[in-house]
Amino acid sequence: MENPTLTALLRRAASEFPDRRALSVSGKFDLTHAQLQEVVDHAASLLLASGIGYGDVVALTFPNTLEFVVMFLAVIRCRATAAPLNAAYTAEEFEFYISDSESKLLITSQEGNKSAQAAASKLGIPHVTTATLSGADSRIELSSTITDSSLDSVAKLVNDPSDVALFLHTSGTTSRPKGVPLTQLNLASSVVNIKSVYKLTESDSTVIVLPLFHVHGLIACLLSSLVAGAAVTLPAAGRFSASTFWSDMLNYNATWYTAVPTIHQIILDRHLSKPEPAYPKLRFIRSCSASLAPSILARLEETFGAPVLEAYAMTEAAHLMASNPLPEDGGHKAGSVGKPVGQQMAILDVDGVAQLPGVSGEVCIRGPNVSRGYKNNPEANKAAFQFGWFHTGDVGFLDQDGYLHLVGRIKELINRGGEKISPIEVDAVLLSHPDVAQAVAFGVPDDKYGEEINCAVIPREGVAIDEAEVLRFCKQNLTSFKVPKKVFITDSLPKTATGKIQRRIVAEHFLAQISTAKVPKFGA
3-state secondary structure 86-136: CCCCCHHHHHHHHHHHCEEEEEEECCCCHHHHHHHHHHCCCEEEECCCCCC
pLDDT band at 175 (very low <50, low <70, confident <90, very high): low
The C-alpha atoms of residue 502 and residue 483 are separated, in whole angstroms, by: 21
pLDDT band at 430 (very low <50, low <70, confident <90, very high): very high
Using one digit for the tens of pLDDT, what is the confidence trace for 279-318?
Answer: 999 999 999 988 898 999 999 999 999 999 999 999 999 9
pLDDT band at 523 (very low <50, low <70, confident <90, very high): very low
How do beta strands 385-386 and 389-398 pair?
antiparallel
How do beta strands 284-287 and 256-259 pair?
parallel
Average pLDDT of span 468-486: 94
The percent of residues above 70 in pLDDT, for the chain, comes to: 96
Longest Cα–Cα distance in the chain: 73
pLDDT of residue 98: 97
Quick check: 156 pLDDT over 50? yes
Q: Is-contact 252 82, C-beta < 8 A?
A: no
CATH of region 414-512: 3.30.300.30
**One CATH from 3.40.50.12780, 3.40.50.720, 3.40.50.10490, 3.30.470.10 for 6-376+390-395:** 3.40.50.12780
470-to-71, 437, 459, 498 alpha-carbon distances in Å: 49, 12, 10, 28
Quick check: 267 pLDDT over 60? yes
The C-alpha atoms of residue 130 and residue 110 are separated, in whole angstroms, by: 5
pLDDT of residue 146: 67
The domain limits of the chain are 6-376+390-395, 414-512
Average pLDDT of span 58-70: 97
Looking at per-residue pLDDT, the higher value among 511 and 49 belongs to: 49
pLDDT band at 64 (very low <50, low <70, confident <90, very high): very high
